[in-house]
Structure 1
């Protein structure tokens, strides 16, 4: 029996705290709804989901430890700005790769596969469009964007600047959550077919790793530590994807050849 059944309904203070927390978490909640696959009837393996969540959590903890254990090579503001720029570049690269991969999968399937899979592209297209729109918005209204400097146009400019600032404060956490969830859920590729996420995830992470090779590390860590943090994510994602494909084949009879009708 819930506490509400016992007559202990939340008071105004509890509702205000809940409403405030819900408002602060709104960008993350919305990102979860946009990037989480929603196709009915798809095979969902709890073991695979738990392994993916565990790998993502370990990555966050390891990154936090790296930033705590070693001094930053530049100011915290510069690091954040560089990461935002990396996110924009990665977003563009990931959108191109995912678009090519989805097109190749749909058109590479034997009839009636192409028509069948095209009807399922709404989810991935929603994720791609959302990430693209967020990246453009952050580029326009960020600290370096022209839309943040409209106060010279009088009262109307000040009002517009405030509205743009509010949009930035919402888009920033939404964009950060999008950068994580779009890779975690492989742009909702499971809405098209279950084999696509484990096929796409290694490609996306290795592409991001290639970008980081040409980018200086944010902390003054030894080369062995930097190499570990550079190669660890793509290697772990590749191993997890191989295990996921094997589990789909052994437990559910889902294979890449079967998905393509071959």
Structure 2
């Protein structure tokens, strides 16, 4: 069953309770029949149903292995080598010159990048797509339009889910305040609370399952143009560079080491990006301009 949970589709709750048998296992019936277990078992079952539904919708909109127009194994290996080298250099820099506050600051910057990445993608991708669409030939534009519409639909789902989170939080806060002021005299408040909390739970599960694939596929914009993933990577690395300088300042170490650490990351990423675009142009005929 664990292999099924890790697969593309989670099994329904009744199949999970049967555990591969023709009937539901006796242990499952025992947990369901004893009231003392309801406070634990029933919420877990409800969470599984909501998580399965949200995961199915998230992976339908953002497939975990989203298709890319052109797969380049050599480029992928170079990208991974550059990423591991950058991570090793960052750890070495902190180990040699870093202080405890520098380590905590690096952790905060990493968490900030995780939060900011979807926002930057949603802001940067339309600009780059608009430039590529303007530069493309009429035939290429006709091919890009349906892919752009599909990417827009999935992006609107994600934006709607992110927007719904603070709205649900405000609604839950207002319901809590209403319940405390009314001292439980209104019998409709618990039902309103359930009607708000359950969709809120589903939205949180959806964002949890959708964010990773959405970032990896750049909200399905990778299928719009073969060079778009590389261009987005090149733009994002310089946006992160500006954010890191404004939020965290210079890394620890002597001035020369600081300069190399600040410039080395975005410059190396940009070099790999333009090398990838060069390979796409020479090997596959991909053009940024018509």
Which bracket does the TM-score occupy, shorter chain normalised? 0.5 to 0.7
Corresponding position: 1:97 with 2:132: no
> Matches of residues 50-89 of structure 1 in structure 2 within 5 Å?
50-55=77-82, 71=100, 79=108, 83=111
User: What's the counterpart of residue 212 of structure 1?
Assistant: 244
Gapped regions of structure 2 (runs ≥ 5) = 11-47, 180-188
Which of 242, 247, 257 is 2:279 aligned to? 247
Query: If the length of structure 1 is used for normalisation, what is the TM-score?
Result: 0.62
User: What's the counterpart of residue 120 of structure 1?
Assistant: 147
Corresponding position: 1:222 with 2:232: no
Corresponding position: 1:163 with 2:198: yes
**Cα distance, 1:48 vs structure 2:** 2.3
Distance 1:91 1:186, change over 3 A: closer
**Cα distance, 1:63 vs structure 2:** 7.5
1:68-99 deviation per Cα after TM superposition (whole angstroms, max 9, x unaligned): 986457999x959x946x65655444323211
User: What's the counterpart of residue 46 of structure 1?
Assistant: 73
1:122-157 deviation per Cα after TM superposition (whole angstroms, max 9, x unaligned): 34324533442343244445xxx4244233444235
Kept in 1: contact 2:218–2:229 (CA 8 A): yes
Distance 1:65 1:255, change over 3 A: same
1:3-42 deviation per Cα after TM superposition (whole angstroms, max 9, x unaligned): xxxxxxxxxxxx2x44555669975983994475436xx3
Kept in 1: contact 2:148–2:224 (CA 8 A): yes
1:168-205 deviation per Cα after TM superposition (whole angstroms, max 9, x unaligned): 65255336525xx52x4444333122122222221122
My pick for the range that moved more, 17-26 or 191-200, is 17-26
Kept in 1: contact 2:230–2:276 (CA 8 A): yes
User: What's the counterpart of residue 151 of structure 1?
Assistant: 176
Query: If the length of structure 2 is used for normalisation, what is the TM-score?
Result: 0.57
Distance 1:244 1:123, change over 3 A: farther
Q: How many residues align?
A: 230
